[in-house]
Amino acid sequence: MNQKLFAASGIFLLAVALLAGKLGTASPPASPPGTKILAAAAEVFEALSEKERAKALVDYQSRERFDWQFIPKERKGIPVKELEPAVRAKVQTLLAASLSEKGAKLVQTVMSHEDILREIEGAQRKFPRDPLLYHLTFFSRPSRQGPWGYSFEGHHLSVNVTLEGDRLLSASPLFYGANPAIVRDGPQKGLRILGGVEDLARDLVRSLKEPERKACLGEEGGVVPEEVPAGKESVPYKGPLPAGVAADSLGEEARAKLAELIAQYTGNLPPEIAQGVLESGLKGVRVAWRGSLEPYQPHSYLVHGPGFVINYTNTQNGAAHVHSCFRTLKGEFGLPPESKG
């Protein structure tokens, strides 16, 4: 199914590995973090026709740069389905350069999920379900001089990358969703593309001792928010976040599970971003759970620390519809830390 999305992606992934110096005997000099992204973005941009560029290009200063979403809607940019197969392959190379291998693969899986959703909803569906209905937008032309960025998004997916020349500034918001949360029938039966981040979090909360679990569940008890706070703000959420339970108060086993859960999210990011998320370990990190601790029941959770926030919710369609998002709290979209966008 993924081959249908982007032709010859394996060849391009190998090319990225070669560019990154993963093959060969000598260790090349360290290059600026965004070098691969700039090179791949320039390849895409140069491959676009004049008409396609006009559709894909938005001014860096435009408010549209912060207008990210994951619902079916009219979008800025150019849809992948309007691009030639060779250009689609270059877009896949850009995503591979911008995310980890795991994160780029998850992008393709989310897109392919549209085929499954189309079959489930049938001819009377409200929205088109098309694995190629994902939009690419450039914010200024990719260049070694000045700020620029790009977004790639559609239903249940939003990738947002910002650079200054070839210096990577931000790779968030990074949103992945899944509907259905678990595929019940067909060739992909049993597929849970975001099952890991659900199971890990539930296992963590269940493992807590009574006082810690009570703090994690909060005074709201079984009340589940429609959408986890901070999940849809155009810039990082500045309001109060659920306090939950502090990582510092947890035992060694629970702390290890929390670190593993965070790693599931940061593992989708480019290493340069992922490595900076927990520079101080789990100091200042808190986790809050809302809703049932039983599988297939509505629930949500939030993990936040000094520089990041993770949102997860599974409340729709009988707890079979997942939203998950990683946000950087400082410098997202390349903005100064105190900026509101």
- CA dist 254 and 247 (Å) reads 8
For residues 246-260, give the mean pLDDT. Answer: 96
Q: Do 302 and 229 form a contact (C-beta atoms < 8 A)?
A: yes
Comparing C-alpha atoms, which of 220, 215, 202 is closest to residue 322? 202
| pLDDT score recorded for residue 228 | 63
- CA dist 192 and 315 (Å) reads 16
| pLDDT score recorded for residue 131 | 87
What's at 19, amino acid-wise? Answer: L
What's at 37, amino acid-wise? Answer: I
The larger pLDDT score, comparing residue 250 to residue 30, is at 250
Comparing C-alpha atoms, which of 143, 311, 104 is closest to residue 224? 311
Task: Give the rounded distance of the alpha carbon of 179 from its chain centre.
Answer: 15
Q: Is a pLDDT exceeding 50 seen at residue 21?
A: no
Q: Quickly list DSSP for 132-192.
A: T--EEEEES---SSSEEEEEEEETTEEEEEEEETTEEEE---EEEEESSSS--SSTTTT--
Q: Is a pLDDT exceeding 80 seen at residue 238?
A: no
Domain boundaries defined on the chain: 2-171, 195-334
For residues 239-247, give the mean pLDDT. Answer: 87
Q: Is a pLDDT exceeding 70 seen at residue 47?
A: yes
What's the pTM? 0.87
- CA dist 332 and 161 (Å) reads 9
pLDDT (tens digit, 9 = 90+) per residue, 254-304? 999 999 999 999 999 998 889 888 888 899 999 999 989 999 999 999 999
Q: Is a pLDDT exceeding 50 seen at residue 7?
A: no
For residues 237-244, give the mean pLDDT. Answer: 79
The CB density around residue 285, as the number of other CB atoms within 10 Å, is 25
* Banded model confidence at residue 207, pLDDT cuts 50, 70, 90: very high
Strand partners, 58: 139
288: helix, strand or coil = strand
Percent of the chain residues past pLDDT 90, beyond the cut: 62
- CA dist 157 and 153 (Å) reads 5
Q: Which long-range contacts (CB under 8 A, 24 or more apart) does 271-280 make?
A: 271/100, 272/33, 272/168, 273/168, 273/170, 273/171, 273/172, 273/328, 274/100, 276/307, 277/305, 277/307, 277/308, 278/305, 279/307, 280/306
| pLDDT score recorded for residue 9 | 40
Strand (E) or helix (H) holding 14: helix 9-19
Place of tokens 């009219």: 74
For residues 76-98, give the mean pLDDT. Answer: 97
Q: Quickly list DSSP for 34-62.
A: THHHHHHHHHHHHHS-HHHHHHHEE-TTS
Bridging pattern class, strands 286-291 and 299-305:
antiparallel
Mean pLDDT across the chain: 86
Measured N-to-C along each axis, helices 210-217 and 195-207 cross at an angle, to the nearest 10 degrees, of 130
* Banded model confidence at residue 14, pLDDT cuts 50, 70, 90: very low
| pLDDT score recorded for residue 222 | 59
